[in-house]
Structure 1
Amino acid sequence: MTAINDALPTNEREARIAWSLLTEPGDVIAHRYRNHFDTTLESVLSVIEPNLQGWPWVSAPRADGLVDAVLDAEDLEYRVGMARWLPRHGAAEFAAVLAQLTVHNIQTVIPGDDNWPGERFESRLGETVPVILYVRGDAELLNQQRNIVGLTGARAATGYGEHVAMELAAGLVDRGYVLTAGAAYGIDGMVHRTVLASRGKTIAVLAGGVDRSYPSGHEALLERIADDGAVVSEMPPGTSPTRWRFMSRNRIIVALADALVVVEAGFRSGSLNSASHASAMGVPLGAVPGPITSPASAGCHRLIRESGAACITSVGEIVELTA
């Protein structure tokens, strides 16, 4: 049996790990709840301790009044949140995450750490800012002293789209930029591979745990990124990606970047979700035009026409976008 001291958070870092198990990405209610407390540790224990039926070695919960004080302030909102969080807490899961950090050499980055992305990252994300980031590889790449560009696009990329992604990625590496994308098939994969081949640095942001290679066909690629760049997620190790987590993951790619460029996208491409995050956060947005006969570029044309995206035809124009 896991000892209680090993299975309950005892400091701020462990408290943030626990919160990442309790909540889904971008949980605004959880963010507001945490802000009612002086420390993150205090906030997570206020959820766990009075509801310890999931922690079988504790015979009676320790009531310290914290939950009641908070729930009195925002009763319905937080009670709805509690209903979501409580089914997800458990000693085994928490202990397993702590173990996986060591097994997979996973770093945790939290506010106040040197490698936390910083105030710009937090202000862009607002109440959806991650409580923690899990990193395999070089966590220093998250530091906002770096120049970072997000390059993304369709999974069903054409030869044209992959060629443009390769040219832009190689050119940006030559100018000292770190590139971030989501490790998906198509444009994202081409961006990551090109950066590695060019001996640059790249950040892959995942929708699941950093110990899980997704898509599975990019397992070798993600291992290379972990060796020479950074694989990042707000989800704890062992977590599987879901559609919602993919959509939410995109906001982190955008918040890290000085600019986002959509290389190729169909009219309903998921990369348009990243573009909408950029518009909402005020992150400079660019899109690469394609043949007017190509459905694979219809989304890029839409961004240029309707969303004010800069028309990107060269590396220099991306550099201008980041200025």
Structure 2
Amino acid sequence: MTTNCASSNDVVDHRAAKGPVEVADHGVANGTGDAARPSASVQPMSAQVGEAGVGGTGGPSGAAISGADDGERLARAGLSRVVEPGDVAALKAFEGLEALEIWELLQQRAPGTERWSTRLAEAKPERDLDRAAAAHARFVIPGDDEWPEQVEILAEAGQLSRRAGVPFGLWVRGPANLRRVLERSVAMVGARASSSYGEHVAAELSAGLSDNGITVVSGGAYGIDAASHRGALAGSGVTVAVLACGVDVSYPKRNSALFSRIVEEGLVVSELPPGCSPTRLRFLARNRLIAAATLGTVVVEAAVRSGALNSAGWAEQCGRAVLAVPGPITSRMSEGAHLLVRERDAVLVTNVADIIEAISPLGTRLTPYPQSPKIPTDDLHHDLRRALDAVPVHTPAPATRIATTAGLDVRTTLQCLETLADLSLIHHAPTGWRLTPVTPPTQ
């Protein structure tokens, strides 16, 4: 079910500088830097939560919930339904407030919260948690063992495309531990309308990263995303698909079989609760999560206006490595990657070792830089090189003619010719010296 944001007028600022928040009669926070006392007409938020969770509701399975953790989980689940991922207006309105406090303000219909009133009416966090459990999914929030703390950099990363902020929680489906698999992870992103070259490179790099214990994270879309997931699955590691819809929704539909494989071996993740459909803004919000959760973002193939460049922008703002794969200069689908290298200081990468070096704190390389194959003439000193260059290929020449051509005296030339013969580079014929013919390798 796709839920559209309700429009509203100006949003009242419910921010508090620090410390506990005081809730006035109308439910609007007006806390100061000191610990504030609740007004007489409104109970403290902790008291309103009580043993039954936020608003006195039951738990995901209908049982009573006790403890602040369960109350916070319900509040965050509800907020993930009510507030669009990365909603800048919500960040401004509720800056400085905890999830329970925001949820309480929304339930009290506090002034300035009208923007979210339509969605609040349909928000049933217990139902969403039940639906997630039925799909073998879970809701991970800050404080959980699985919570990836690196995504909290989004609180400081500013905004891009009117999206910003840390998720209220993450809906997760699959057997792996989210925090652990993201500890060493790389985002592989690129065009949906990709070329065969781009898909081949994405799959090869992802398989190599997977074999080296690095989790491949992508967005589950057609093209480069799908090729990256498949490549990682072909390796020995895991892959994570971060979706712009609910974790129980297969979008795009033709990737359903791929999502099934990912759920069996890796993870499918989303900020959105079960049943939600994708929108353009949700894809942009999803990009910030992919960038923040990983050590670096590799743009495999992208046009100048590709959404992959939005992911690269988020990686820059989160202080993560930005990497780009070069492509044919005639390909429009590589223009975005080339632009990143030329104008935004992205690291050009052509193999797995390049990527690992870029994301490693000490610049570790798995393999040395590629070198040209060594040939016998590489170690020849100056006179030997001059003599060798003067030896004819076909018709043998006497030492005196070779000395003249090389610009060496005859004695030095003879010494060089003997050395070159010992190296099997030349041989002596009845009428002089010539290069040793190169024998083609046998099949």
1:179 & 1:139 partners in 2: Cα distance? 13
Letter in 2 for 1:207: A
Q: Deviations over 1:254-302 (max 9, x none)?
A: 0011111001111221111111111121111010010111111111111
2:181 & 2:154 partners in 1: Cα distance? 13
Q: Offset at 1:91? A: 5.4
Identify unmatched segments of 5+ residues in structure 1: 52-66, 72-78
- The answer to whether the 8 A contact 1:151-1:181 is kept is yes
2:182 & 2:127 partners in 1: Cα distance? 34
SS across alignment from 1:209: coil
- The answer to whether the 8 A contact 1:7-1:91 is kept is no
Which gives a bigger RCO, structure 1 or 2 (Cα 8 Å, sep 6+)?
1
Letter in 2 for 1:19: L
Choose which of 46, 51, 68 in structure 1 pairs with 2:105: 46
Q: Deviations over 1:231-254 (max 9, x none)?
A: 000011111110000011001110
Letter in 2 for 1:117: P
Letter in 2 for 1:243: R
Q: Give the alignment's TM-score, normalised by structure 2.
A: 0.62
Q: Does 1:188 align with 2:219?
A: no
State how 1:301-312 maps to structure 2 within 5 Å: 301-312=338-349
1:121 alignment counterpart: 151
Determine which structure has more spread, i.e. the larger CA radius of gyration: 2
Q: Does 1:5 align with 2:53?
A: no
- The answer to whether the 8 A contact 1:210-1:237 is kept is yes
Aligned CA RMSD, in angstroms, stands at 2.2
1:36–1:171 CA distance, 2 compared to 1 (3 A): closer
2:135 alignment counterpart: 104
Letter in 2 for 1:42: E
2:83 alignment counterpart: 23
1:198–1:24 CA distance, 2 compared to 1 (3 A): same
Q: Offset at 1:142? A: 2.9
Q: Offset at 1:46? A: 2.2
- The answer to whether the 8 A contact 1:142-1:256 is kept is no
Q: Give the alignment's TM-score, normalised by structure 1.
A: 0.84
State how 1:64-103 maps to structure 2 within 5 Å: 67=110, 79=112, 82-90=113-121, 93-103=124-134
State which drifts further: 11-20 or 82-91: 82-91
Choose which of 292, 302, 310 in structure 2 pairs with 1:265: 302
Q: How many residues align?
A: 291
Letter in 2 for 1:189: A
- The answer to whether the 8 A contact 1:7-1:92 is kept is no
1:244–1:145 CA distance, 2 compared to 1 (3 A): closer
1:92–1:149 CA distance, 2 compared to 1 (3 A): closer
- The answer to whether the 8 A contact 2:189-2:299 is kept is yes
SS across alignment from 1:240: coil
- The answer to whether the 8 A contact 2:86-2:166 is kept is yes
Letter in 2 for 1:5: T
State how 1:169-208 maps to structure 2 within 5 Å: 169-208=206-245
SS across alignment from 1:128: coil
Q: Offset at 1:143? A: 3.4
1:205 & 1:145 partners in 2: Cα distance? 12
- The answer to whether the 8 A contact 2:203-2:229 is kept is no
1:172 & 1:91 partners in 2: Cα distance? 42
- The answer to whether the 8 A contact 1:137-1:230 is kept is yes
2:142 & 2:341 partners in 1: Cα distance? 35
Q: Offset at 1:146? A: 2.4
SS across alignment from 2:327: coil
1:156 & 1:195 partners in 2: Cα distance? 20
1:19–1:92 CA distance, 2 compared to 1 (3 A): closer
- The answer to whether the 8 A contact 2:291-2:314 is kept is yes
2:266 alignment counterpart: 229
- The answer to whether the 8 A contact 2:82-2:123 is kept is no
Q: Deviations over 1:138-180 (max 9, x none)?
A: 3513337721000111111111101111111111112110010
1:250 alignment counterpart: 287
1:242 & 1:7 partners in 2: Cα distance? 30
2:187 & 2:129 partners in 1: Cα distance? 31
- The answer to whether the 8 A contact 2:215-2:239 is kept is yes
1:60 alignment counterpart: none
Bigger fraction of residues in helix: 1
2:334 alignment counterpart: 297
2:403 alignment counterpart: none
1:205 & 1:314 partners in 2: Cα distance? 24
1:137 & 1:21 partners in 2: Cα distance? 21
